[in-house]
A = this chain, B = another copy of it.
Amino acid sequence: MAIVLGSNQYGKAETRLVRFVRDSPRHQITDLNVTTALRGDFSAAYLDGDQSAVLPTDTQKNSAYVWAKTHAVDPIEEYGLSLARHFVEDVEPVEAARIEIEQFGWTRVVAQDGEHDHTWIRSGQEVRTAAVTVEAGGEHVVQGLKDLVVLKSTGSAFKDFLTDEYTTLRPTDDRVMATSLVARWRVSGDRLEGIDWNAMYVGVRAVMLERFANLHSLALQQTLWHMGRAAIEAYPQIAEVRLKAPNKHHFLVDFSAFDLENDGEVFHADDRPYGLIEATVERDDGPPSGDAWRFSAGLA
């Protein structure tokens, strides 16, 4: 028996980087949280404390900042690919790089003269995400979103489920369905060519929301399946979609003690526990994922 080093990576998590474009009076803002992680043969650092092959995480941070000056940060997927390729191509011991990015949305303030040139408010809780992996076997971009909180007040049922001796839940034909969606979709290899990432983001988000809204749902599972399917149907480049959806329970408040009826009007929004559905929807002839999903580094 021997004890050996298994898979590992290291990097700089959560570099909070804001990039402005100020070429004209109408400025542009891109607000990012960037995490970089490098892979390769770093065993000497672990086994002997030998750092001669280790590019400091501080340098990775500097590189992220410099790249934001010398390369476009919008779309974030291109920025991530460029930065990842730099680490793999220019830093000798690095065999693979993973760049994770969160993009926070901003909306221009609208005053009497219309949209303001250089003032914004944070728009929404929703975060656009990207996870770029550049490795010997190829390149992968996982585009996505998280914290997209969506709710429908009807058009959702849950009934005819399996029961056992511990089941007390009553079936329902009409309930509130709400979730805080995490969705990620992967594009790999030569399908990365020529993608308009901003358009894909808007497009996938739109078809997912349409399905959530318009599908009469018999279960959150069914809704997720149709959301993932719609994304893959809309974009042939997408190899797979991964979805993680907490079922944020809204419980009808019991008014029976007060001689009142509650016709689906007053709910308690509960915190914990919550149902949690996790699913993958795949194109059966898509390229393999390689290490695209390995080690989600610093960002939840």
Q: Is A9's CB within 8 Å of the partner chain B?
A: yes
Each complex incorporates copies of this chain amounting to: 4
Interface pair A269/B167, CB less than 8 Å apart: no
Other-chain contact of A57, B124, B269, B275 (Cβ < 8 Å): B275
List of B residues within 8 angstroms of A125 by Cβ: 122, 124-125
The distance in angstroms between the C-alpha atoms of A42 and B219, with both chains bound, is 12
Other-chain contact of A155, B62, B118, B282 (Cβ < 8 Å): B118
The distance in angstroms between the C-alpha atoms of A62 and B295, with both chains bound, is 33
Interface with B: A74-82, A136-144, A189-197, A225-233, which one? A225-233
List of B residues within 8 angstroms of A198 by Cβ: none
Other-chain contact of A213, B37, B116, B274 (Cβ < 8 Å): B116
List of B residues within 8 angstroms of A155 by Cβ: 118-119
Interface pair B163/A59, CB less than 8 Å apart: yes
The distance in angstroms between the C-alpha atoms of A91 and B161, with both chains bound, is 13
Other-chain contact of A66, B54, B66, B121, B255 (Cβ < 8 Å): B255
Other-chain contact of A164, B65, B91, B217, B273 (Cβ < 8 Å): B91
List of B residues within 8 angstroms of A219 by Cβ: 45, 49, 51, 54
Interface pair B275/A10, CB less than 8 Å apart: yes
Q: Give a binary string over A186-207; 1 marks a CB under 8 Å from any B CB, 0 the rest.
A: 0000000000000000000010
Interface pair A151/B119, CB less than 8 Å apart: yes
Extra pairs beyond A3-B232, A22-B153, A90-B164 (4, CB < 8 Å): A3-B233, A7-B279, A53-B162, A124-B125
Chosen A-B contacts, 5 in total, with CB atoms closer than 8 Å, are A5-B225, A5-B280, A46-B222, A109-B210, A121-B149
